[in-house]
Structures are given as structure tokens and as C-alpha cells.
Amino acid sequence: MFGAIYGDIIGSYYENHCTNNYGFLFAKDSSFTDDSVMIAAVCSTILNDPSEIGILGIRARSRQFASRYRQFYSQYPDAGFGKMFSEWAKDPYAKNNRSYANGAAMRVMPIVYAYSEWNQMMRQVEASCLPTHNSREAKTAAYAVAAAIRMALDGKNKAEIRKYIQDKYYGLSQPLEQIRATHVFDSRASYSVPPAITAFLESHDYESAIRNAVSLGGDADTQACIAGGIAEAYYHEIPNHIKEFCDKKLSMTTIKTVVKQFEEKYG
């Protein structure tokens, strides 16, 4: 999980200072953003109630996710949440949002670790999407990221992961270099999530996945969060200098406490 959170932290500065430089520096002003807060909220939901659900349980489960999203939002309202999400989070009676952005895909990682059985995992992913990202586009991105992480954890290689995602969710034929040439900041799920997956597929270790994602020059924190989450599951190794840089930004946060607790149970 920290692989995703570190990606969020490293990418945070470049969300506002877009770069195409693969060798970019880790910026002093980096901090965790809404991506990390929501990953912690998902961890908290699962720790609080790890029960499996049937198809008929998806709605009830989505209300549990919703209440944790709101709880964590209220702790970190200034972490970079979008306007639509903030308005939803502040209104306890708000209906499910139909956002088509990448916010559902960036927070699914804990579900994959907690539920290894494929159908159960996807049911939980759907429940996690419903409150705020109840659109086909956002859900597809969340399913694709969950699938990639599950396959990485199960020891599948990159060709297998690529083929599965291509057959089921997205064409991934465009190489990163080509994508980078025209890529811009756009949080739309179908625009930003496939390049984040490609950033992982073209990586050779954890750090290169993060660098690939940030240097797309797009929604850097979320794309690095997604690429980092997959890379962590695939490489099982994060360099110490990245851990040290990012852990400082997390000290004394509920995010760290909750995610650590989650990793002790499911990591």
C-alpha cells in the first residue's frame, strides 16, 4: 500500500508543476494528497469490517465505504480533493456521485490485498466505487487497476498482465514515449489510467515506474499512485531513499497508523 502512497507523495508537486523530465528531483514541497487519504479510508473500512459480501450485499457495503470516505475527508479536507467530491463528502444525505474521474482507481489497492478471490475482490471494488464514482468509466478503471495488482501479486508477468488488461479493459498499444508527447493534465479515468498502467508495464523497478508516471506530465500524483501501487505488488521492493523521503511526510498522520495496521494484517 505504501508503494501507492509514496507515488502520490512524489507526484504531488508535479501535479501543479507538470514535467516531462524522467530525471526530475524529489521536491521538498511534496506531500500526501487525497489519493493517500482515500487509500487509508479503504483500509479503515476493511479493518472495521472484513466480511465478504454477496451480490446483494454490495449496496450495504458501499454505505460503509461512504461513511469512511466522509470521515477521512473531514480529517484532511485540504488534501487536494476535487470540488465534486468535497461537496458530496460534506453532505451526509448526498446521493451517489457519477464521477468519471480516476478517484476510484487510485484507492482500490487495499481491497486487492484483503480479498484474494477474484469475484469477491471485484464485488468489493464495485462497492467502493458506488458512493462517488458510480459510472461505467470510473468503475472500469478501478477494475483494471485491481486486476493488474492481483495478477502482479499472483506472480503473473508483464506480458500476461498487459494481455489481460487489453482483452478486458483498455488498448495499451501506445508506448509511453508516444503518449508523453501529447499528454496533458486530465483526471478523466479513461484518459489518465491506461497511461498509468503503461508507466508500470514499461518500468524495470519500482522507482522507474514512478518516474515513468510523473514524467507523463499529467495528473502526476494519481498516475504515480496507480503505477506505484502496481509496481509495489510486482517488484516487492521499494528503494530505501524513497521510503525515507516519503515517510517523513507521513509522520504522525492517521494515514500512516491505519495503513500500517492494515499491512500488518494483510501485507
Between 33 and 190, CB nearer to Mg ion: 33
Closest CA to 218 of 245, 249, 193, 201: 193
> Which residue of 122, 221, 228, 229 would you call a contact of Mg ion, by CB under 5 A?
221
8 Å CB contact between 141 and 162: no
Closest CA to 102 of 247, 233, 229: 229
User: Closest approach of Cβ 30 to Mg ion, in Å?
Assistant: 12
Instruction: Compute the residue count for the chain.
Output: 267
DSSP, collapsed to helix, strand or coil, labels residue 48 as helix
Between 3 and 80, CB nearer to Mg ion: 80
35 to 74, contacts with Mg ion by CB under 5 A? Answer: 35
Question: Under rule CB under 5 A, how many of the chain's residues touch Mg ion?
Answer: 5
228 binds Mg ion (CB under 5 A): no
Cα(190)–Cα(194) distance, rounded to whole angstroms?
Answer: 7
Between 35 and 232, CB nearer to Mg ion: 35
- Cell 515513468 belongs to 212
- For Mg ion, which stretch binds (CB under 5 A), given 27-35, 147-155, 239-247, 255-263? 27-35
User: Closest approach of Cβ 78 to Mg ion, in Å?
Assistant: 12
| Burial (0-12, 13-18, 19+ Cβ within 10 Å), 155 | exposed
136: CB partners within 8 A, 6+ apart: none
Between 34 and 126, CB nearer to Mg ion: 34
Cα(183)–Cα(191) distance, rounded to whole angstroms?
Answer: 9
- For Mg ion, which stretch binds (CB under 5 A), given 53-61, 62-70, 221-229, 233-241? 221-229
User: Closest approach of Cβ 34 to Mg ion, in Å?
Assistant: 5
DSSP, collapsed to helix, strand or coil, labels residue 205 as coil
33 binds Mg ion (CB under 5 A): yes
**Residue span 72-111 as binding mask against Mg ion, x where in contact by CB under 5 A, dash where not:** --------x-------------------------------
Rule CB under 5 A: which residues touch Mg ion? 33-35, 80, 221
